[in-house]
Chains A and B, each alone.
Chain A
Amino acid sequence: KAGVTQTPRYLIKTRGQQVTLSCSPISGHRSVSWYQQTPGQGLQFLFEYFSETQRNKGNFPGRFSGRQFSNSRSEMNVSTLELGDSALYLCASRDGGPGVEQYFGPGTRLTVT
């Protein structure tokens, strides 16, 4: 099976703009989670989608949003970008609940200038 893919891999945006990142999970996986990774804050959970519904949400402002499509592909959107949003955004998929391992994509490196 193909692994988790994320597009684009690198992105440079300007403060105030918005950005959309895409994640294609492993075939058959219905759960997709998003994480933000920064040197200062480490890996922080953004949200999880399961069968097109947000199942869980981390502690991020409303500028961060996501959705999942019927084919389990997911997108996350960040509006009104701030410098502090510069990070590696990781997507992970799994085919079960909290006891099932997550498979991570390579991430999208977002730089906000």
Chain B
Amino acid sequence: AQSVTQPDIHITVSEGASLELRCNYSYGATPYLFWYVQSPGQGLQLLLKYFSGDTLVQGIKGFEAEFKRSQSSFNLRKPSVHWSDAAEYFCAVGVNNDMRFGAGTRLTVKP
């Protein structure tokens, strides 16, 4: 079945530590891939997207993501987390005019 999986429901990291959020998808072809962030009480904001080409994509706020076709993954990374990064992160795939989201990963940042 077509799906987007974010295996980690909740992650806690210390401020200044590195971060990796996992995302796996199951679709027949390489879909369009996105990472969004949602702060409490807000809508979703796009961090970055991948369509084709270079498999390492840079986004806003110092985030990057790497597409790995062999693993059907699109993991989000940040070298050094800031307290303001605490939020919920959603991986999404764009297929056939709609967008399917993963369940989200809530990030807590410890001081």
A residues contacting the other copy or chain, number (CB 8 A): 24
Q: Which residue from A42, A97, A103, A107 sits with its C-beta under 8 Å from B97?
A: A97
Query: Which B26-54 residues sit within 8 Å CB-CB of chain A?
Result: 31-32, 34, 36, 41-46, 49, 51
Contact check, A102 vs B103: say whether CB atoms are below 8 A apart. no
Contact check, A98 vs B96: say whether CB atoms are below 8 A apart. yes
Contact check, B43 vs A43: say whether CB atoms are below 8 A apart. no
Secondary structure of the A contact surface, majority rule: strand
Given A43-B90, A98-B32, A99-B32, A107–B43 Cβ distance below 8 Å? yes
Contact check, B97 vs A48: say whether CB atoms are below 8 A apart. yes
Distance from A58 Cβ to chain B, minimum over Cβ atoms (Å): 7
Interface residue? A33 (CB, 8 A): yes
Given A90-B44, A106-B43, A107-B43, A99–B101 Cβ distance below 8 Å? no
Query: Which A86-113 residues sit within 8 Å CB-CB of chain B?
Result: 90, 92, 97-107
